[in-house]
């Protein structure tokens, strides 16, 4: 039997509990069809935009329609949690400045999932038959598409989910559930938000307006069209997802990006606006702030970090998604691209002694970029 909530009862529990759970956005949609942009998703795969991320292709139809994986689901809860409030100017000068802002603290898979499970526990206290299957990132769901449908924000031309007050520095999670609502028309979109949005002077218009800053600024031209990223060209894929190889012709485009890329969010006016108004609301969960232990490290340490040290340092952080070889390779590319001639003796040693052939080859390239052996 599916539990049935009234809209006011659902709103009451969510609005009372979400702030305690440090969730910034919560929404719900009835699960009565495919994801709203399922066709755009299929087209994206057909155009081979997934950059070798084969797990996406393998779950093609499950992602298009969550009822395939969860036949008993009646609704989909969607959650958002800030990791930064807008995009305040970069103050760091150490290696962490080369790491995307989402990845400087604790692993969001753990932090957000814990918060979501806690809120689901709150809901279960009210509707004991509630069954829910929460997923952060790794489930076969088009999280941005559902977040937009549930009223958490809009999908910008950079493909990010943007909340009009909070910007796009948000993680998302979803949970298919067996919860039904007696009157879906009475459900507010979203159920809860930590910050009110500005009144929209032009309802119904494309929130990006005539802006194309993200498309113009992307270092690799990965935003091939509005709301279409070619993952194979995205620096986020190169630096986080691709373990063995680094595209040799385009290493210079990586610039000073060690892990992930924030350019298409840094230039977004919605994030500048969010940063200006950040003092009007509670700060993001401190779990996403830079970890103290990271301060002990330097770029040079990363170039020679072995698997044991990598595990000790990064096990519960987003950097764990890479392999130690991938991180060493990225550190070498950053050293070359930022003109770190002081690191040439160390890079020469890596070129000779690193156990990984790809890392040795990138080190040789980096030495050449830096003006030969010292
Ligand atoms: C694969 C993946 C990537 C790939 C591909 C990204 C991409 N744009 O497709 C790579 C490795 C490049 C990547 C990079 C990043 N990612 Co990522 N990624 C994912 C993952 C696992 C799947 C995304 C996916 O299905 N892509 C396929 C495309 C087709 O889908 P989509 O981008 O979601 O697009 C949908 C919407 O655009 C929607 N849509 C809505 N309105 C409209 C209107 C029109 C006209 C159209 C055509 C489409 C459309 O339709 C599309 C299909 O449903 C999700 C988690 C998840 N399970 O959803 C995280 C996720 C999208 N990533 C996230 C993050 C944080 C990032 C990075 C910022 C990390 C970084 N700093 O390096 C970058 C951002 C780069 C970018 N501009 O997208 C967050 C996004 C949060 C947010 N506020 O949007 C997610 C949701 C993870 C999470 N749980 O928080 N990512
Ligand atoms: S994350 Fe960087 S490389 Fe990827 S689309 Fe955005 S700006 Fe381009
Ligand atoms: S930079 Fe401009 S076009 Fe890109 S997502 Fe932001 S508002 Fe939209």
Half-sphere exposure of 93 (CA within 13 A, CB side): 0
Alpha carbons 272 and 18: distance in angstroms, whole number: 26
Active site residue 137: yes
Query: Which of 23, 159, 163, 326 has the most ligand 1 atoms within 8 A of CB, as the residue to mutate?
Result: 159
- Identify the bridge partners of residue 192 per DSSP, sorted by sequence position: 26
Alpha carbons 195 and 162: distance in angstroms, whole number: 13
Angle between helices 324-337 and 344-353 (to 10 degrees): 140
**How many angstroms is it from 345 CA to the middle of ligand 2?**
32
Half-sphere exposure of 312 (CA within 13 A, CB side): 8
Active-site residue identified among 65, 122, 137, 180: 137
pLDDT for the residue numbered 244: 62
| Cβ-Cβ contacts under 8 Å for 199 (sequence gap 6 or more) | none
Query: Which of 144, 148, 157 has the most ligand 3 atoms within 8 A of CB, as the residue to mutate?
Result: 157
Using alpha carbons only, give the angle 300, 355, 308 rounded to the nearest 5 degrees: 65
Regions in the chain scoring below 50 on pLDDT: 373-374
Alpha carbons 18 and 119: distance in angstroms, whole number: 7
DSSP for 305-316, please give it: --HHHHHHHHTT
pLDDT (tens digit per residue) in 2-11: 999 999 999 9
Query: Reduced to 3 states, what is the DSSP secondary structure of residue 35?
Result: coil
Q: Which atom of ligand 1 is nearest to the CA of 241?
A: 11
pLDDT for the residue numbered 250: 78
Query: Does the beta carbon of 240 lie inside 6 Å of ligand 2?
Result: no
Query: Exposed, middle or buried, 275 (CB in 10 Å: 0-12/13-18/19+)?
Result: middle
pLDDT for the residue numbered 374: 45
For 223, the token pair is 């935003």
Query: Which of 158, 213, 330 has the most ligand 2 atoms within 8 A of CB, as the residue to mutate?
Result: 158
Query: Reduced to 3 states, what is the DSSP secondary structure of residue 96?
Result: helix
| Cβ-Cβ contacts under 8 Å for 53 (sequence gap 6 or more) | 231, 237, 241
Query: Does the beta carbon of 268 lie inside 6 Å of ligand 2?
Result: no
Closest ligand, as measured to the CA of 213? 3
End-to-end CA distance of the chain: 73
Alpha carbons 108 and 249: distance in angstroms, whole number: 33
Residue written as token pair 């989402």? 102
**How many angstroms is it from 156 CA to the middle of ligand 3?**
6
Closest ligand, as measured to the CA of 39? 1
Residue written as token pair 């060690």? 258
What residue owns the CA closest to ligand 1's atom 68?
262
pLDDT (tens digit per residue) in 308-361: 999 999 999 999 999 999 999 999 999 999 999 999 999 999 999 999 999 999
| Cβ-Cβ contacts under 8 Å for 290 (sequence gap 6 or more) | 92, 96, 104, 105
Query: Does the beta carbon of 299 lie inside 6 Å of ligand 2?
Result: no
């Amino acid at each position: 039997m599916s539990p049935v909530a009234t809209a006011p009862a659902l709103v009451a529990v969510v609005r009372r509990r979400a702030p305690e759970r440090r969730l910034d956005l919560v929404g719900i949609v009835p699960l009565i069809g495919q994801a709203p942009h399922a066709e755009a998703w299929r087209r994206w795969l057909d155009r081979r935009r997934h950059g070798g991320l084969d797990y996406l292709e393998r779950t093609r139809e499950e992602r298009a329609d969550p009822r395939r994986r969860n036949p008993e689901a009646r609704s989909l809860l969607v959650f958002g949690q800030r990791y930064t409030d807008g995009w305040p100017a970069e103050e760091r000068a150490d290696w962490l400045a080369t790491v995307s802002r989402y990845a400087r603290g604790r692993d969001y898979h753990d932090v957000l999932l814990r918060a979501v499970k806690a809120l689901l526990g709150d809901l279960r206290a009210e509707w004991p038959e509630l069954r829910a299957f929460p997923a952060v990132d790794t489930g076969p769901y088009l999280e941005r598409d559902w977040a937009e449908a549930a009223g958490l924000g809009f999908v910008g031309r950079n493909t990010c989910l943007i909340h009009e007050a909070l910007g796009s520095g948000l993680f998302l999670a979803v949970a298919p559930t067996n919860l039904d609502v007696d009157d879906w028309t009475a459900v507010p979109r979203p159920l809860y938000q930590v910050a009110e949005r500005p009144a929209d002077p032009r309802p119904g218009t494309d929130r990006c307006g005539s802006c194309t800053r993200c498309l113009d600024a992307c270092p690799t031209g990965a935003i091939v069209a509005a709301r279409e990223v070619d993952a194979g060209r995205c620096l986020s894929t190169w630096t986080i997802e691709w373990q063995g190889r680094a595209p040799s012709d385009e290493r210079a485009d990586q610039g000073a990006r060690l892990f992930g890329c924030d350019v298409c969010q840094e230039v977004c006016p919605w994030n500048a606006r969010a940063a200006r108004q950040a003092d009007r609301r509670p700060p993001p969960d401190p779990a996403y702030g830079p970890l103290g232990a990271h301060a002990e490290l330097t770029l040079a340490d990363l170039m020679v970090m072995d698997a044991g040290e990598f595990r000790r340092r990064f096990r519960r952080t987003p950097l764990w998604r890479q392999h130690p070889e991938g991180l060493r390779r990225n550190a070498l590319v950053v050293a070359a691209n930022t003109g770190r001639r002081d690191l040439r003796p160390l890079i020469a040693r890596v070129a000779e002694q690193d156990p990984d052939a790809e890392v040795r080859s990138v080190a040789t390239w980096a030495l050449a970029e830096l003006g030969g052996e010292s």
